[in-house]
Structure 1
């Protein structure tokens, strides 16, 4: 199967801080890949280098067979990005925001069809600021999908959502995967990672400490649940305490 993202020996420093150190992975078309780690582990820097918004110090990055540094304009039409900290004008309406986003691309999907698919068809005239948390997160995914991208980047997309809204988002992502989209996602929710991700990489202090399937991550740890295994890998807290709660 075609490789859509390839990262080899990626290194990036900010002054004395080594943000990413010798990170290597590849993602195939139609795969959901989870980039995991605590805040400051190097996830955002890795994604910025893949998108070409940051320049690595060494190593190579290929996105859809192109160099994200030199081919950013060509990649812009084929890549969708949703960021957790997406902030928009308080006074912009949902339909206006979708139209403004669509105007950035030569070809795109009909935003009204996407809004309908994501259960937001009745929110076109609503202000973005008036949407609930779940509605906003679904809108941010709609915006990322407007260019009908081949690769979608999703950052902590269900943070702040209730259980029902999270499961709705999971269902949508499963459909995107079935349609051949490549998805690179970050998440702090291990139940989400178990449901959605084909492969994961766990970063700690800028280095990869695990790469492979969710099942392999659990099997290589002393635990039977991904959440406990993840804490064991990252040593974020006393796992023994956590496991006994």
Structure 2
């Protein structure tokens, strides 16, 4: 059973999400919060597997609530809920440690499976959305120094670049002619050296450090 906490200041949104998720036999909505303050307090009380966190809320917004929750429990799984797929708060939330985000337009049939994936430890960002989001907020920013980056081996840097391209461990293994278990070992070492918790944070750092640069659309020929 996957335990979910819903945090959204709109009663209709909370009610709709509870109705959708409550219809799933393996999901239990344990609590609802109307703002970030209540989300942080109820998360500590009910210990949900996943917090579904709206970004724009009164008193304490979703970003500040995410930071507060993760400061107490860094392994907590928080999924940001937003109306727009290019929202500065989403990027900052991922940087703070959220495991991904869902649009409020996500089809009901996909919502439950996405939250199960988050509970398992998966990152909820498709490669295309990841690239657009990071492109948007790092395109004009100068590279930053990332502790641990210089400690990566050549192979680990290759793996990191392929991760940034949205490849799964299996796809990376095929690309580099390695075993999937070997790739998983490289990925775990990357996480340890960069001191990140998952692929999303590792990819964000790769872009910020300039290891991977945002893609540019080719100009049309005159």
Same fold (TM over 0.5): no
More strand by share: 1
With the length of structure 2 as denominator, give the TM-score of the two structures.
Answer: 0.31
More helix by share: 2
